[in-house]
């Protein structure tokens, strides 16, 4: 039973999303993508709309990035940058198929007056960075091993002025940090230990002794690719065991259906970048 002390408090968030108007699986750049598996474009848009409406219904503000033809993965807006206190550290995508997305994100931020830092090193934005403003004075967790290169962590630290903790991803199914770990509030996380090296597991255990741990079945259902406002946790409807674990920890799970977008290797968080002016 959740005690009074465990009641969680929501904080209004500001998000950036991009419609899946051009979403398709035309290539395979992660283990979840199969160009032979057809995508239902209308259903993808309907499910994405449901996610956007859910976030707005929870009291959050959602801005939109215009999708561009020929960039089917632009729907995964979290990959375009990571932001802290009005600075956006931009993405430099590993795969050529997504490289043009970086310019679209840069234009969006610069047109709205953000301080934008163009990267030299390969990184994929919030795909591999998670910011916790109240953890150890403000901390960026950063994944590497498949997409973002390790030197980008130092580059992000210089750009954003926050300490960066590097975490080694070792299972290709968890090719981004955001499919293996998520911030539940401003100071705590949920993660799947098996996605990380033994040393990185020790680091996470030291930094977050009260973290929620996910089972492999929920991690493989993209349950960790979630968005939380500190109380409401929007996550894949298939991650039923994790939803129960979160409820027991005082959070309120909000399941959504994003099966079509999962065909591209992403779910809730991949579609949602948090803006921190």
**Sign of the C-alpha dihedral computed for residues 109, 56, 3 and 214 taken in this order:** negative
Active site residue 176: yes
Interior/surface letters 203-221, b for 16+ CB within 10 angstroms, e for the rest: bbeebbeebbebbeebbbb
Beta carbons within 8 Å of 258's beta carbon, 6+ residues apart? 47, 48, 51, 222, 236, 267, 268, 271
**CA-based nearest residue to 75, from 31, 25, 121, 123:** 25
CA distances from 26 to 23, 30, 76, 127, 179 (A): 9, 12, 15, 20, 21
Instruction: Give me the catalytic one of 153, 232, 270, 271.
Output: 270
Active site residue 270: yes
Whether residue 82 contacts residue 110, with contact meaning beta carbons closer than 8 Å, is answered with no
Instruction: Give me the catalytic one of 60, 176, 232, 271.
Output: 176
Q: Write out the DSSP string of 104-152.
A: HHHHHHHHTT-EEE--SS-B-GGGTEEEETTSTTSEEEEEESSSS-THH
Question: Which residues are identified as catalytic?
Answer: 176, 270
């Amino acid at each position: 039973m959740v005690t009074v002390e465990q009641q969680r408090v929501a904080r209004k968030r500001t998000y950036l999303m991009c419609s899946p108007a051009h979403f398709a699986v035309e290539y395979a750049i992660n283990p979840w993508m199969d160009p032979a598996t057809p995508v239902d474009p209308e259903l993808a848009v309907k499910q994405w709309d449901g996610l956007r409406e859910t976030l707005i219904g929870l009291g959050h503000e959602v801005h939109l990035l215009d999708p561009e033809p020929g960039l089917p993965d632009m729907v995964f807006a979290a990959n375009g940058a990571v932001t802290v206190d009005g600075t956006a550290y931009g993405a430099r995508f590993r795969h050529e198929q997504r490289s043009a997305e970086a310019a679209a994100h840069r234009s969006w931020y610069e047109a709205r007056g953000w301080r934008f830092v163009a990267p030299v090193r390969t990184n994929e934005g919030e795909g591999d960075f998670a910011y916790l403003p109240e953890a150890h004075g403000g901390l960026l967790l950063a994944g590497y091993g498949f997409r973002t290169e390790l030197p980008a962590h130092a580059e992000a630290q210089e750009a954003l002025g926050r300490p960066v903790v590097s975490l080694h991803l070792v299972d290709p199914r968890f090719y981004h940090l955001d499919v293996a770990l998520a911030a539940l509030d401003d100071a705590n996380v949920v993660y799947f230990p098996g996605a990380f090296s033994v040393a990185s597991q020790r680091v996470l255990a030291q930094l977050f002794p009260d973290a929620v741990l996910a089972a492999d079945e929920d991690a493989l259902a993209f349950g960790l690719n979630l968005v939380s406002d500190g109380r409401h946790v929007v996550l894949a409807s298939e991650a039923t065991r994790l939803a129960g674990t979160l409820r027991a920890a005082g959070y309120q799970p909000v399941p959504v259906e994003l099966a079509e977008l999962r065909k591209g290797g992403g779910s809730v968080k991949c579609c949602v970048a948090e803006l921190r002016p």
